[in-house]
Amino acid sequence: MTDSKLTSYVLTGILYLLQPEANAQKIADSTMVKINKERAFYETLGKVYPPDTSITIAESSIAGIKSYWFNQKMIEQKRIIIYLHGGVYALGSINSYKPMVSHLAGALNLPILFIEYSLAPEHPYPTAKNEVLKVYTELRKKYPDFHITIIGDSAGGGLSVTLVHDCIESNVPLPNALALISPWIDLKTSNNSYLIKQSVDPILSKNMLHEHAEMYAHNDLKKADPSELKFKKFPPVFLLVGTDEVLNDDSKNFYKVIKPIQKNTKLKEYNGQKHVWLFSDIHSNESIAAIKDIQDFLSAN
């Protein structure tokens, strides 16, 4: 091979490597139009009720990932909560979650770090879970003796489960505890509640979840699916789920998997509640009860 051909070959290879997502993930314009409409609507949900104005919020970059501190001044307690938001891996931001997370920070009286991870379909699996691990690892390095817990809702609940597995694989200390609100754990959307709870769930559907699972991890669905992960150990975990949501069985089935290896595993169903009910009304009796239950669980673990 001549020097000129070799140079051309190397440059072609470098250009290919510099554009992995462009090569791996071509997204139809119609798909992005739909996603952008869904995102715009999801942003409006952050205006359903006002944030707790007594809570400070500060943008930060941790391991190169945009994040937001709530109640950062309380970090002297040596306790940190990481919040992983939902949105079927494609929606959600600080704008949509600021009110709920600010009220959680106020009620729990602890600092919360909200991670604004990259969204699908532009950033498919494993981008989000890798970003979460990077941030968590960086916090563990910076605050090695801190008590670090995870709260995740919906897809963020699935990311929380995946984080535990990634910590085990990477030999990183595990979170001290997890509280998962309406977690989406079965990306196969195969649980019975996806069908039998559909009539009482106005928010999610089996078809919608399947569509977003495909967008998130089309070529790696089994690898990305938290319900496929195997565990020999797991931190204390509290699963909170509404009776009236298609993800009801995700929590129940995960409880059955984890309870034999972690005695401090708790499951509670909230009667009549829809998907992530705190998101729609933080002041309802059921939301107040859920926050108190989370507080009690995290205090004990």
pLDDT digits (tens, 9 = 90+) for 78-127: 999 999 999 999 999 999 999 999 999 999 999 999 999 999 999 999 99
Is the pLDDT reported for residue 10 higher than 80?
no
Helix H or strand E encompassing 83 = strand 79-84
Total domains, the chain = 1
Look-up of token digits 């941790």: 62
Residue 213 belongs to a domain: yes
Tokens 């009910």 correspond to what residue? Answer: 277
Is 168 contained in some domain?
A: yes
Q: Are residues 186 and 156 in contact, defined by beta-carbon separation less than 8 angstroms? A: no
Q: For 236-254, write each residue's pLDDT tens digit.
A: 999 999 999 999 999 999 9
Residue 232 lies in a domain: yes
For residues 244-267, give the mean pLDDT. 98
Contact 105, 55 (CB under 8 A): yes
CA distances from 132 to 128, 166, 295 (A): 6, 10, 23
Other beta carbons less than 10 A from residue 155's beta carbon: 31
Domain of 272, in residue numbers: 28-300
Average pLDDT over residues 150-169: 98
* Amino acid 20: pLDDT: 38
Is residue 160 situated within a structural domain? yes
CATH number of domain containing 188: 3.40.50.1820
